[in-house]
Amino acid sequence: MPSTNNTIDRHYQMIDTDKSREIIRKAMEVARLEIPKGAVATYIPELGKMDPNRLGICLYPLVGEKICMGDYDTRFTMQSVSKILMLIVALELCGLKSVFKKVGAEPSGEAFNSLVELDLNNSKPYNPLINSGALAVCGMLLPEVSFQDMVRFAREICSDRDIVLNKDVYESEMRTCSRNRSIAYLLESKGIITTDVEDTLRFYTKMCSLNVTAESLANLGKKLANDGVCMLTGKRFMSSRTSRIVKTLMLTCGMYDGSGTFAIKVGIPSKSGVGGGLLSVSDKRAGIGVFGPALDAQGNSIAGIKLLREISNELRLNLFYDPEWNKEDDEEDTVIRRMADASVGI
Ligand code: GLN
């Protein structure tokens, strides 16, 4: 029978809360085993102080109860997850054409802080979810909004009044950000950043240093899952087009040079940050926030990925949900990894 609620009108839906809770609880146990294989980020010295053993999740379905587990309310810095906020605001205020005149919409296959493509003639950052692209987006935002405006927006869209700047992390990154500084000056030399470079860098780094929780990310994810609209208040935070573009880029570029493999293993548009955060959006179904600061080689939460992988198909959150699918065994896993490493694609 067709659903009367258009928001969840899909041919399959999530399973009930009790079963979901049990599946997530088991997945947390499996995911914890991954923690020793990762490490917290140390290139921003303040992040090196984080406890790698933390793990938390908040899953907020469009219909059904919110499920919170582990360190779901621990504060950590948003880091690259804030690129989503910057992109939303840039698309809304500057428009699609202006944004994509300065940045591309293609996966880079490079590390998040790469600057290799920028020295080529006529090139621009591959996409807005890597550092170069986000710095270009910041250059566009600077004349339009203040950092305080962005904090207000973050608080509202994450339904979290306690989001503030983590000054220690901000200052720590400002002391060690020569790579981002190089990228920003290169972008200025190409005419992509036309605002003051140091101001742009400060704005970007402050956005990365906003303190959130897995629960705040789930709130943000839920609005994206519901086409940019808050289900409780009916407030629209962005156009449908912006919401669709952001989710698409999350799927193709959100996990940096791990995006393709992640899409195969998990199939949920996601954005990671080196603070250990993961924002995931199961379209029309749920917003998910994860916190797990031990990172893999790409700078993505190692236990967070495992956790999402364990629940994606069982909870029917995968974009390509497949009732026949069981998690690949280790052998297949190795094959996927080898193919990805050899960049031969799949
Ligand atoms: N602030 C970090 C940086 O610019 C964000 C990177 C990340 O989360 N991947 O290096």
Could you report the per-residue pLDDT of 213-224, keeping only the tens digit for each?
999 999 999 999
**More confident call, 331 vs 284:** 284
| Phi, psi values for residue 322, rounded to 5° | -135, 110
How confident is the model at residue 336, as a pLDDT? 57
| For ligand 1, atom 6: residue with the closest CA | 80
Which residue among the candidates 274, 281, 290, 306 is catalytic per the annotation? 274
Quick check: is 145 catalytic?
no
Q: Is pLDDT at 332 greater than 60 in this prediction?
A: no
In this predicted structure, which of 97-101, 225-229, 318-322, 330-334 has the lowest mean pLDDT?
330-334
Which ligand 1 atom lies nearest to the CA of residue 113? 10
Q: Ligand 1: distance of its center to the CA of 203 in Å?
A: 13
How far apart are the CA of 10 and the centre of ligand 1, in A? 36
Q: Is 80 a catalytic residue?
A: yes
Same fold for the domain at 12-76+212-340 and the one at 80-208?
yes
Per-domain boundaries in the chain: 12-76+212-340, 80-208
Ligand 1 site, residue 219, Cβ cutoff 6 A: no
Q: What is the pLDDT of residues 105-150, one digit of tens each?
A: 999 888 888 888 887 767 899 999 999 999 999 999 999 999 999 9
CATH 3.40.50.150 fits 80-208, yes or no: no
Q: What is the mean pLDDT of residues 56-67?
A: 95
Give the C-alpha distances (Å, rounded to integers) separating 46 from 49, 107, 225, 275, 291: 6, 29, 33, 10, 17
CA of 304 to the centre of ligand 1 (A): 17
pLDDT the model gives residue 3: 43
Q: Was domain 12-76+212-340 assigned CATH 3.40.710.10?
A: yes
For residues 119 and 121, what is the distance between their CA atoms, to the nearest angstrom? 7
Its pTM stands at 0.92
Q: State the Cα torsion 97-83-66-237 to the nearest 10°.
A: -40
pLDDT surpassing 70 at residue 6: no
Q: Is 209 a known active-site residue?
A: no
